[in-house]
Structure 1
Amino acid sequence: MTHALVIDDDLGNLGVLQQLLTLEHISYTSIQDSSQVEKILPRLPKIDIVFLDLEMPDVNGYEMLVLLKRHPALAGVPVVACTVHAGEVHRAREWGFHSFICKPLDADRFPAQIKEILNDAPIWEVR
């Protein structure tokens, strides 16, 4: 089964993404406190995709991306920037995100988006 890691400080956004992942039969681990990710990562099952909010307290999404890329178990795992800030798309690409999806997530588009990303086809969708 595909397993996602979701890192977002907003409980509402976490809930929406959890529902969408469940509908796609994707299990997930959610982390709301970005400062805890380094402690939690070693205990997680194999991760197939990461959804990462860009604007978080303590450790922002860009800093978190650097941390995640250093973790051996996440080598080659697509990290998707998820944000309400469409203007961040170019910066996210420069920093090395695999894909970019604007919030609020589109429930109709999500199944195709997740399929593309898991097939290693980056998506850069801004609304």
Structure 2
Amino acid sequence: MAKKVLVVEDNELNLKLFSDLLRAHEYVVEPVRDGREAVERARAFVPDLIIMDIQMPHVTGYELILELKADEALRAIPVMAVTAYAGREDEERIRAAGAEAYVSKPISLVRFMESVGALV
């Protein structure tokens, strides 16, 4: 059975790129443009992996990771943070919140898929 990936990304081009790339590798993808819908969609979709943009309007990916990891039903789902932040402190803070992987933008398609494969 195909693995399911929830992609939370407010940038339309990045959302399309990530979704198309994952679909090309035979993943089932559920795109989410608004972070405020992420937790509810995760409960309904039950993904094998969540790819989370960090810098979004309304609610940050960092806040969402904390919320996901505090939820008994969702905490075991691995989270891959994808962000334009590149500082060492940012990566440490995001990993401390519960992200299992951290990929900086602009992404390397090979590194992106390697990270996905390592988590599912």
Gaps spanning 5+ residues in structure 1: where?
Answer: 119-127
Percent identical: 28
Provide the aligned C-alpha RMSD in A. Answer: 1.6
Question: C-alpha distance in 1, partners of 2:11/2:74?
Answer: 23
Size of the aligned set, in residue pairs, is 117
Shift of 1:8: 1.0
Structure 1 117/55 Cα, relative in aligned 2: closer, same or farther at 3 Å? same
Instruction: Indicate conservation of the 8 Å contact 2:42/2:74, yes or no.
Output: no
State the TM-score, normalizing by the size of structure 2.
Answer: 0.86
Residues 54-111 of structure 1 show CA distances to partners (whole Å, capped at 9, x for unaligned) of: 1111110111112212333323111111001111212212222111011222123333
State the TM-score, normalizing by the size of structure 1.
Answer: 0.82
Look up the SS of the partner of 2:51 in the other structure: strand
Shift of 1:25: 0.7
Structure 2 counterparts to residues 1-127 of structure 1, below 5 A: 1-44=2-45, 46-87=46-87, 88-118=90-120
Look up the SS of the partner of 1:58 in the other structure: coil
Gaps spanning 5+ residues in structure 2: where?
Answer: none
Look up the SS of the partner of 2:65 in the other structure: helix
Question: C-alpha distance in 1, partners of 2:108/2:58?
Answer: 28
Question: C-alpha distance in 2, partners of 1:71/1:94?
Answer: 16
